[in-house]
């Protein structure tokens, strides 16, 4: 699935024009961090701006180890219209802290809307900020009752997912997530050039912003429908190639 992250209602309208080429619209506020939380009214406005059948995701933030605070924020996101709730475990330094935060989120979200989808997000560059190891995320997600594990990059300085976690380590992340019955999501300045390895390792959700912005610039550029369509076409090409490679030879 392709997840696109507009940072405004105007950009969300551009995503709506490309709704046939994406699977999830993700609401975030990049100037508050890689998983920065936007305002509840922005979530509502973007929910109204995109087709009703397009799932809406919302980030709760690069959160501290404050389970009650984070649970309330997650409830605010789902009440505002998001059905995918993403939590960046920025301030969690141990798996137990991550589980503590995510259990509160899962209960808050699912008590309000049982069919909502909860995503525990970690950071490929965790070593730069001192948070929990990226490969601990699938276990944290599974033990807390979340639905997916995700990796992104915390510091948006031009470095990318594979600069911090090798393709082999990302493949292990995907394998661990699938073994636990979770979806695996990968993001972090992903480009079309990364789609080959991401597809071959079985990634379920690819999250992008810069790759579908003018000039590839997540901050100064704006999401454009034709760039979304082109990125999706490349995703589909790799998916077809992967499917053909795994079909047994006849006879």
Per-residue pLDDT band for 30 (boundaries 50, 70, 90) equals confident
Q: Is 66 a catalytic residue?
A: no
pLDDT at residue 220, rounded to an integer: 77
The answer on pLDDT for 197 being more than 70 is: yes
pLDDT at residue 117, rounded to an integer: 97
Q: Kindly report, residue by residue over 83-107, the tens digit of the pLDDT.
A: 999 999 999 999 999 999 999 999 9
Q: Kindly report, residue by residue over 36-70, the tens digit of the pLDDT.
A: 999 999 999 999 999 999 999 999 999 999 999 99
- Nearest to 70, CA basis, from 5, 19, 116, 121: 121
**How far, CA to CA in Å, does 241 sit from each of 39, 44, 108, 176, 196?**
40, 38, 41, 24, 9
Phi-psi region of 52 (alpha: psi -120 to 50; beta: other; left: phi over 0): alpha
pLDDT at residue 247, rounded to an integer: 67
- The 3 state secondary structure assigned to 173-218 is HHHHHHHCCCEEEECCCCCHHHHHHHHHCCCCEEEECHHHEHHHCC
Least confident of 48-57, 118-127, 208-217: 208-217
Q: Is 86 a catalytic residue?
A: yes
**How far, CA to CA in Å, does 105 sit from each of 66, 154, 240?**
11, 20, 37
Arithmetic mean of pLDDT, 26-30? 91
Q: With beta carbons less than 8 A apart as the criterion, state whether 154 and 129 touch.
A: yes
Q: Which two tokens stand for residue 145?
A: 């009752």
pLDDT at residue 110, rounded to an integer: 98
Q: Which two tokens stand for residue 190?
A: 């992903």
Angle in degrees, CA 98, 1, 88, rounded to 5: 20
- Nearest to 25, CA basis, from 62, 59, 76: 59
In the chain, pLDDT over 90 holds for what percent of residues? 86
d(CA 59, CA 35): 6
Q: Kindly report, residue by residue over 129-188, the tens digit of the pLDDT.
A: 999 999 999 999 999 999 999 999 999 888 899 999 999 999 999 999 999 999 999 999
- Set 17, 86, 110, 156: catalytic member: 86
- Set 17, 28, 110, 156: catalytic member: 28
- Nearest to 11, CA basis, from 162, 198, 227, 207: 227
The answer on pLDDT for 249 being more than 60 is: no
Q: Which class for 38: exposed (0-12), middle (13-18), buried (19 or more C-beta within 10 A)?
A: buried
Q: Which two tokens stand for residue 48?
A: 């109204």
């Amino acid at each position: 699935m392709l997840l696109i992250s507009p940072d405004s209602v105007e950009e969300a309208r551009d995503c709506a024009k490309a709704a046939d080429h994406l699977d999830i619209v993700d609401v975030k506020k990049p100037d508050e961090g890689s998983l920065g939380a936007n305002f509840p009214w922005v979530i509502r406005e973007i929910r109204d701006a995109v087709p009703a059948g397009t799932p809406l995701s919302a980030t709760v933030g690069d959160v501290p180890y404050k389970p009650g605070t984070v649970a309330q924020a997650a409830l605010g996101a789902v009440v505002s219209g998001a059905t995918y709730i993403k939590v960046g475990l920025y301030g969690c330094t141990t798996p137990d802290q991550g589980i503590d935060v995510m259990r509160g989120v899962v209960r808050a979200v699912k008590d309000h809307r049982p069919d909502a989808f909860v995503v525990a997000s970690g950071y490929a560059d965790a070593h730069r900020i001192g948070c929990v190891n990226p490969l601990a995320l699938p276990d944290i997600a599974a033990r807390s009752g979340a639905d997916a594990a995700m990796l992104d990059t915390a510091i948006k300085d031009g470095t990318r997912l594979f600069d911090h976690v090798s393709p082999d380590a990302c493949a292990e992340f995907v394998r661990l997530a699938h073994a636990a019955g979770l979806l695996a999501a990968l993001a972090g300045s992903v480009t079309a050039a990364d789609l080959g390895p991401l597809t071959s390792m079985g990634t379920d959700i690819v999250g992008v912003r810069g790759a579908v912005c003018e000039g590839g610039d997540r901050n100064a550029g704006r999401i454009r429908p034709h760039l979304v369509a082109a990125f999706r076409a490349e995703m589909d090409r790799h998916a077809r190639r992967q499917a053909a490679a795994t079909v047994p030879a006849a006879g």
